[in-house]
Each structure stands twice: as structure tokens, then as C-alpha cells.
Amino acid sequence: MSDLGTLYYINVVAMVVIGLYIVLTKRNVLKILIGLDILGTGVNLLIVVIGYIEGGTAPIYTAGISPAKFVDPLPQALVLTAIVIDAAVLAMAISIAVRLYREFGTLDVRKMRLLKW
């Protein structure tokens, strides 16, 4: 049904819009990282939504299901890698945020000005 497709696309666009709004507007470093995480999760959802086939089943060979009805396995392989890499980058970004707090005493990005202009 095209209505279901529209619903999934609205979900994805809501996540992308609010993720982008958090990254553009907020001042706390940890809040910005939350926005980046939401943005990345939205794009992962979009990739898997595009790979869906109407009336399809999971792409695992089981007894009694013919492989002609499989959903596209290629976007799932891409998103599998992307989720793990997002978590690894997040761990490093949070370590950097902890170090920033130790250096500057605040997590406000407008107060971290070492470059004088």
C-alpha cells in the first residue's frame, strides 16, 4: 500500500529534521551528540525501508519458504555495518567530550574559544 510507504517516509523525515535541528541549534556538546545519533539512526531506517518488498519474508533459507519471496538482503548488510560503526564513533566522541569538560570546565560550545577570532 502506498499509505504504509508514506508513513515510513514521514518517520524517516521526522528523525532527520529533528536530528538536524538539534545539531544546528543546541549548545551542549552531549546534546549535539544525541542529535547526531538520531540523524544516523534515521538514515539507517531509510536504507532498510527502501529494501523492503511487499509480501516478502526474511532472507534466511528455511524449510518450506522459496527463495523467490526474499526481501532484499543487500541494504541489510550495509546497515549492519553502519550501526556498529556509529556506536564506535559515539564512544570516541563521548571520550572527547569528557576531555573537553576537563579542559574548559564547561560543555557550552560557545564558551570554548581558543582561536581568538
Q: For residues 58-97, which are near another protein according to CB under 8 A? A: 58-62, 67, 70-74, 76-77, 79-81, 83-92, 94-97
d(CA 16, CA 12): 6
CB of 38 to another protein, least distance (A): 7
Distance (Å, whole) CA 41 – CA 33: 12
Reduced 3-state DSSP string for 74-115: HHHHHHHHHHHHHHHHHHHHHHHHHHHHHHHCCCEHHHCCCC
33 to 52, contacts with another protein by CB under 8 A? Answer: 33-35, 37-38, 41, 44-46, 48-52
The answer to whether residue 7 forms part of the interface with another protein (CB under 8 A) is yes
Cβ-based nearer residue to another protein, 2 or 114:
2
Nearer to another protein, 108 or 117 (CB): 108
Residue with smaller CB distance to another protein, 102 or 116: 102
